[in-house]
C-alpha cells in the first residue's frame, strides 16, 4: 500500500479531501462540486481514501429506496506525524511539496480567473513570506498558539453569513 503522503497528494484525492474538509458530501455532491471528475473516478479515489482510513462513511440515508453514503474526513489521520516526516527521503519531500504547490497553484488560478482584481482586497486575498526569529522555546509557543487559533476557527460550521477562505501554510526552517 502507498504511504499516507502519496495517497493524500494525488491531484483528485487532494481535491476530494479539500471538499470534505469543508463539509460532508455524497458522491453525487462531490462530482458536482469538483466539476470535472467522472463518477467512476470519484468512486475509485474515494475507495482509496476510505481504505487508507483518511475518509469514512459518516452517514447513510435512503434516497428513493437506494442507500446513499455521506463521506467525511478523519481529521486526525490527515496530518503527517513526526514519524511520517522522518520516514520520507529528501527526494520524497521535494516531490510531495511540488504536488502540494501544483494544487495550490490550481486553487489560485481558479480564484484569480473567477474574480475581478477590484474584489481581491474585499475578499481578503493575500500572500507573502513573514520571517520569524524565534528561540526554540518561542518556536514551540508559536506553534502551540497557532494550532489553538486555527483550531478555534476551523471548528466554525458553514452558514449563510460565513464565506469560505482557504489558508495555505508552509513553514520553512533555514537550517541555521
The answer, yes or no, to whether residue 176 has pLDDT greater than 80, is no
pTM: 0.71
173 inside domain: no
pLDDT of residue 35: 86
Domain extent, residue 45, equals: 4-154
Residue 74 forms part of a structural domain:
yes
Whether residue 170 lies inside any domain: the answer is no
- Is 14 inside a domain boundary? yes
- Provide the b/e sequence for 133-168 (b: ≥16 CB within 10 Å): eeeeeeeeeeeeeeeeeeeeeeeeeeeeeeeeeeee
Tell me the pLDDT band of 163, cut-offs 50, 70 and 90: confident
Q: Is residue 169 assigned to a domain?
A: no
| Counts of helices then strands in the chain (DSSP H, E) | 9, 2
- Residue percentage of the chain with pLDDT more than 90: 36
**The CATH number of the domain where 117 resides is what?**
1.10.10.10
Domain tally for the chain? Answer: 1
> Which residue in the block uniquely carries the three cell numbers 514551540?
140
> What is the C-alpha to C-alpha distance for residues 137 and 87, in angstroms, rounded to an integer?
25
Residue 172 counted as domain residue = no
Amino acid at each position: 500500500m502507498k504511504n499516507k503522503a502519496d495517497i493524500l497528494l494525488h491531484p483528485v484525492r487532494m481535491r476530494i479531501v479539500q471538499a470534505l474538509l469543508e463539509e460532508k458530501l455524497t458522491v453525487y455532491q462531490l462530482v458536482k462540486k469538483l466539476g470535472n471528475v467522472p463518477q467512476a473516478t470519484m468512486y475509485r479515489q474515494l475507495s482509496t481514501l476510505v481504505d487508507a482510513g483518511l475518509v469514512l462513511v459518516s452517514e447513510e440515508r435512503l434516497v428513493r429506496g437506494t442507500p446513499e453514503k455521506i463521506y467525511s474526513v478523519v481529521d486526525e489521520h490527515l496530518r503527517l506525524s513526526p514519524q511520517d516526516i522522518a520516514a520520507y527521503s529528501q527526494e520524497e519531500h521535494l516531490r510531495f511539496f511540488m504536488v502540494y504547490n501544483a494544487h495550490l497553484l490550481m486553487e489560485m488560478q481558479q480564484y484569480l480567473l473567477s474574480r475581478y482584481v477590484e474584489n481581491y482586497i474585499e475578499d481578503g486575498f493575500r500572500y507573502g513570506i513573514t520571517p520569524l526569529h524565534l528561540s526554540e522555546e518561542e518556536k514551540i509557543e508559536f506553534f502551540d498558539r497557532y494550532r489553538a487559533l486555527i483550531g478555534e476557527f476551523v471548528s466554525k460550521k458553514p452558514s449563510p453569513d460565513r464565506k469560505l477562505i482557504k489558508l495555505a501554510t508552509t513553514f520553512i526552517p533555514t537550517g541555521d
